[in-house]
Amino acid sequence: MSEHDAILFANAAFYAAFSAHDARAMENVWAARKPVSCIHPGRTAITGRDAVMRSWQAILGNPEVVRITPHAEKVHMQGDMAFVTCVEQVVIASGPQFLVATNIFVKTGAIWTMVHHHAGPAEVDPRSVQNPRKPPLN
Amino acid sequence: MSEHDAILFANAAFYAAFSAHDARAMENVWAARKPVSCIHPGRTAITGRDAVMRSWQAILGNPEVVRITPHAEKVHMQGDMAFVTCVEQVVIASGPQFLVATNIFVKTGAIWTMVHHHAGPAEVDPRSVQNPRKPPLN
């Protein structure tokens, strides 16, 4: 697997954990020994693994979010750090919504793990995500 | 200057260029030989230096934005890549507004240059930015 694909894989693993409401998988997605931070839509930054994980436990416990899939992923790599921009299609009971995200990863050994997630509302043409690819983990 | 301070300096240079409506300074803030991308509030990602710079020329040409200052900056460094999260206080004619941002930098030689900017709306307690520090470039 190329580094590019390994980073996309890590990005997909994040959305798979999110969609599965799997707090344990979400913990594994995030770096365990690097400083982490997270900006949820409309909020300011949360810093520190404990606080970030508590925020995910609250979000993953919300049954309203049915599924979230990444689209239009773009990978940027610089040494042992990389970031991915993507559109997030969030399927909730009332229909799909779109967000835009920046996800930052670091490489530890052979594994890319998340150190930062920033998502916020975006105007997205739904036709641009009409044929979503399945994330590789599903 | 420590690496931490050099990254804060690069972050402040971005907001100084923005506040000064200085397109030339903004070009110097951004990496010239690395892939760059930018997510403006409510929009999807723009990729490529030419497209990103065109977007800034349009924004800097808008006289409505009087000043933008960073607050609550947090620096995360990993080798030659770093990111900063911060609250942006945007002063426009009708009063201040707040955004939250993720700014990513890479080190080229001794200089940290921006490779990604992501800003979006955020609920911010104005009291948390009552006593803004001046960015070091001013």
Model ipTM value: 0.90
The yes-or-no verdict on residue A133 having pLDDT over 70 is no
Q: Do A79 and B74 count as a contact with CB atoms less than 8 A apart?
A: no
- On whether any CB of chain B is under 8 Å from the CB of A106, the answer is yes
Q: What is the pLDDT of residue B82?
A: 96
What is the C-alpha radius of gyration for chain B, rounded to an integer number of angstroms?
A: 14
pLDDT digits (tens, 9 = 90+) for B45-61: 999 999 999 999 999 99
- Measuring CA to CA, which residue among A31, A30, A26, A5 is closest to residue A84? A5
Q: What is the pLDDT of residue B62?
A: 84
Residue A134 CB: number of other CB atoms within 10 A? 8
Nearest CB partner across the interface for B43, out of A81, A102, A122: A122
**Between A and B, how many CB-CB pairs are < 8 A?**
109
The yes-or-no verdict on residue A129 having pLDDT over 90 is no
Q: What's the pLDDT band for A138 if we cut at 50, 70, 90?
A: very low
pLDDT digits (tens, 9 = 90+) for B123-135: 888 777 755 454 4
Q: List chain B residues with CB under 8 Å of A79.
A: 78-81
The yes-or-no verdict on residue A134 having pLDDT over 50 is no
Q: What is the pLDDT of residue B28?
A: 97
- On whether any CB of chain B is under 8 Å from the CB of A54, the answer is no
Nearest CB partner across the interface for B104, out of A74, A80, A83: A83
Question: Hey, what are B7's tokens?
Answer: 């990254």
CA distances in angstroms from A25 to A8, A43, A90, listed in the order given: 16, 23, 19
Q: Do A78 and B34 count as a contact with CB atoms less than 8 A apart?
A: yes
* Average predicted confidence (pLDDT) for chain A: 90
Q: What is the pLDDT of residue A120?
A: 95
Q: What's the pLDDT band for A131 if we cut at 50, 70, 90?
A: low
Q: What is the mean pLDDT of residues A54-78?
A: 91
Residues of chain B with pLDDT under 70: 130-138
The yes-or-no verdict on residue A55 having pLDDT over 90 is yes
Q: List chain B residues with CB under 8 Å of A39.
A: 85, 100, 102, 122
Q: What is the pTM of this model?
A: 0.91
Nearest CB partner across the interface for A120, out of B79, B83, B121: B121
Give the Cα separation of A45 and A49 in Å (integer). Answer: 12
Q: What is the pLDDT of residue B131?
A: 52
Q: What is the pLDDT of residue B130?
A: 58
